[in-house]
Amino acid sequence: MILTEPLLEVRDLEVTFGHIQALRGASLTVGKHEIVGLVGDNGAGKSTLVKAISGVRPADSGQIYVEGAPATLGSPAASRDLGIEVVYQDLALASHLDSVENLFLGRQLRRGGVLRALGFVDRAEMRRVATETFVTLKMTVKDLSTPVGDLSGGQRQAVAVARAAHWAERLIIMDEPTAALGPVQTEQVGKMIRRVREHGLSVLVVSHDLPQVLDICDRVVVFRHGLAVASVASGDIGVRDLVDLMSGAEAADEEEL
Amino acid sequence: MSSLSVADLRKRILYRGSPALVWFTLVVLLVVFSAMAPGLFTSKVNISNILSDASILIVLAVAATLILAVGDFDLSIGAVLVFSGILGAKVMIAWDGGVGTGIALGLVVCLVSGAACGALSGALVAYARIPSIITTLGVMGLLTGASNLITGGVDLRGLPPELTRNIGNRSFGDVVSLPTIVAFVVAIIVAVIIRSTVFGRNTLALGSNAEALRRVGVDVRFHRMKVFALAGMCYGLAGFLSLAKYSTTTIAGHSNDMLQAYTAAILGGSSPFGGVVTVVGTVVGVFIPTTLQNGFVVLGIDPFWQQVAVGGVLLVAVFVQTYRKNQR
């Protein structure tokens, strides 16, 4: 059906923690410019899969392909080098620092010449690039020099997404992006995710918010007991059916796989 | 570029670690002491004394500011100062070559041993994950004991007179001493490091959210250790300056340093919870305990009251900081 290489293909991943098999041969694909939702009950293996793809906790066995090429994602750095960025549920922002600094957290731009060797940061350039990033993503962050701890939840989310979008070359993984947000902000996050896609990135959204997943994602992958049990276009399924798939009530309905 | 609204200003004063509080306190102290001892307190000699007294404390408080930036505490400030001073003094006393070389060697020994002590604390905090208060309490005991063992509890004498004459007591225009200049240079360097370098920005980020920094690939444990080592090097430098000023090791004279250094830093606007510091505030803050001490001496009040006053000021400063934090 799909003729071009998927952007990310995960095949038969297995991860075991002690006696618990968190992933039992899980497979998943994310196409280019595709927004894929990943849903499943608690303990279905969603977080474990995210950790395997982001290199935080590499899988024990299985293969990961990035644009068809086998990839070893043994560390967060390896994953980042392949253009994969993660927006963590806690956003991983330094609340005392401003939006610009958070965008470049640990990856600051440096001044030229001797000052570069001395490790001087190029504040002006970082501010310019940050402004540009926020403008292209149509995110309005009030004041770039306000510590992000003083921003609203939605604004902080925007900073975290902008950071991922700025650094990611291929894929952004979003872990529970709206868990702590109100309905209006949740709506805005949905728009942000679509805009990120417009900029040529793919997005993998892990969420419990099923209506939102159906709303923003092109396709939904359902995990149960460490396996992908369904992969359906979001237009072809409703919340009720998703819940059934997640809980296993309709275990027979797996022909889409 | 950006215009300042009242709300911005208020936010800056309340949340950005502005040294407004410390400036206010200092001005009040200066006004009160000047009024109570006119002529005496504001004399050239006395101002020179205050500046000179502040010099060593500035170096220590700036180092304390670095430690606060990563959200830690270092109780071993005075102990490292004394220990590295003893090692430096030993070398200078034993050296029988040129005096200048001997003094330079002594300085290097003070800096290196201070940095090593800091690195030890830092390694224990970062890699063994022992809370910094406990770690540095242990290191403090270790080094205080070692200092007493090395010296038998008796201050070392016989340092080259040139050390005091050319460094400790060298004065410019009878007001600014060389140690004071050194202290301000250190403060400027550390301020620039924190404000404008990758190292400094990561130091603040580490104090703000270590996990976030780790996830973007920064070796946060090594970074924390480096911050402690840098602070330790400052204590070593302070140890050297102390030798130069007093021409002896002053083993028992630094138990109060830690209290004064943290009072200066926290009153200056650096957060005891990490992530927000201001070196300018710290330097101004140093003049609170220093001015108190000096003012009490000038007024003939028992100088032990200075400790009481400094302790009280620290509590007020921490209260204000905690209040700010809870307001967020």
What's the per-residue H, E or C state across B4-68?
Answer: CCHHHHHHHHHHCCCCHHHHHHHHHHHHHHHHHCCCCCCCHHHHHHHHHHHHHHHHHHHHHHHHH
| Closest C-alpha to B231, from B257, B209, B249, B205 | B257
Residues 205-224 of B with CB under 8 A from A: 205, 207-209, 211-213, 215-218
* Dihedral (Cα; B139, B145, B151, B154), 10-degree rounding: 110
What stretches of chain B adopt beta strand conformation (E)? 171-172, 176-177
Q: For B238-255, what is the mean pLDDT? A: 94
- pLDDT tens track for A166-182: 999 999 999 988 877 78
Ramachandran class of B248: left when φ > 0, alpha when ψ lies in -120 to 50, beta otherwise: beta
Inside any domain, residue B152: yes
CATH architecture designation of domain A1-83+170-256: 3-Layer(aba) Sandwich (3.40)
Residue with tokens 């201001």: B278
Q: For B224-251, what is the mean pLDDT? A: 97
CATH number at residue B163: 1.10.3470
Neighbours of B10 (CB within 10 A): 10
φ, ψ of residue A87 to 5 degrees: the values are -105, 105
Nearest chain B Cα distance for residue A77, angstroms:
6
Inter-residue contact A191 to A139 (CB < 8 Å): no
Q: What is the pLDDT of residue B9?
A: 52
- pLDDT tens track for B211-237: 999 988 899 999 999 999 999 999 999
Residue B274 DSSP class:
S
Q: Do B204 and A94 touch (CB under 8 A)?
A: yes
Q: Report the sign of the C-alpha dihedral through residues A143, A144, A149, A151, in that order.
A: positive
Can you tell me whether residue A34 is helix, strand or coil? Answer: coil
Instruction: Give the N- to C-terminal CA distance of chain A in Å, as an integer.
Output: 12
Please give the tally of structural domains in chain B: 1
Among the partner residues A95, A108, A123, nearest to B209 by beta-carbon distance: A95
Give me the domain span that covers residue B201: 20-30+37-327
Ramachandran class of A207: left when φ > 0, alpha when ψ lies in -120 to 50, beta otherwise: beta
Among the partner residues A56, A105, A120, nearest to B212 by beta-carbon distance: A105
Q: Which residue intervals of chain A bear CATH 3.40.50.300?
A: 1-83+170-256
Looking at residue B150, its amino acid is I
Q: What is the pLDDT of residue B20?
A: 76
Q: Where are the alpha helices (DSSP H) in chain A?
A: 46-54, 76-81, 99-103, 113-117, 123-136, 153-167, 183-198, 210-216, 239-247
Buried b (16+ CB within 10 A) or exposed e, B117-128: bbbbbbbbbbee
Q: Rounded to an integer, what distance in angstroms lies between the CA atom of residue A94 and that of residue A131?
A: 19
φ, ψ of residue B129 to 5 degrees: the values are 55, 35
Poorest-pLDDT segment among A26-35, A184-193, B279-288: A184-193
**Alpha carbon distances (Å) from B46 to A152, B38, B95, B176:** 51, 12, 36, 11
Chain B residues lying within 8 Å of A93, measured CB to CB: 209, 212
Among the partner residues A95, A101, A106, nearest to B218 by beta-carbon distance: A106
Q: Check whether A235 has a pLDDT greater than 60.
A: yes
Inter-residue contact A101 to B201 (CB < 8 Å): yes
Nearest chain B Cα distance for residue A75, angstroms:
9
Q: What is the pLDDT of residue B235?
A: 98
Inside any domain, residue B155: yes
Inter-residue contact A7 to A32 (CB < 8 Å): yes
Q: Rounded to an integer, what distance in angstroms lies between the CA atom of residue B119 and that of residue B225?
A: 6
Chain B residues lying within 8 Å of A94, measured CB to CB: 204-205, 208-209, 212-213, 275
Q: Check whether A192 has a pLDDT greater than 60.
A: yes
ipTM for the whole complex? 0.86
Beta bridge partners of B250: none
Confidence of residue B275 (pLDDT cuts 50, 70, 90): very high
Inter-residue contact A209 to A24 (CB < 8 Å): no
